[in-house]
Amino acid sequence: MATATQQTTRTESSQAIGMSIPFDSIQEPGCYICNWSGHLLRIPEDGVAPGRSPLINMIGTDPLFVTKLNNNPFITVTKARTIASNLDCSVNF
């Protein structure tokens, strides 16, 4: 029973594919699409490692959201376009 609870906790804390989150809340490596522009973001493991400075820091008055496309930050562009299109995201890459 304890194992099932631990798995549920991990699922709730992970950023699911197709989930839109604020840009500054990215905590996992992966391939993301910018909801405001349709650009592709590749966030490597080093980009979210504890104790590291963020590789990208964007500041603005409007909230910036991204949608996670895949756990692999280096999926092919063609596959990323297909996933983004299936999620009805505006593609600009």
Dump pLDDT digits (tens) for 30-79: 999 999 999 999 999 988 888 776 567 778 888 899 999 999 999 999 99
Print burial letters for 44-63: b (CB count within 10 Å at least 16), e (below 16): eeebbeeeeeeeeeeeeeee
Domain limits, the chain: 2-86
Show the CA angle centred on residue 56, arms to residues 44 and 49, nearest 5°: 45
Q: Report d(CA 17, CA 66) in Å as an integer.
A: 11
Q: Is pTM, for the whole model, over 0.85? A: no
Strand partners, 70: 31
Confidence of residue 28 (pLDDT cuts 50, 70, 90): very high
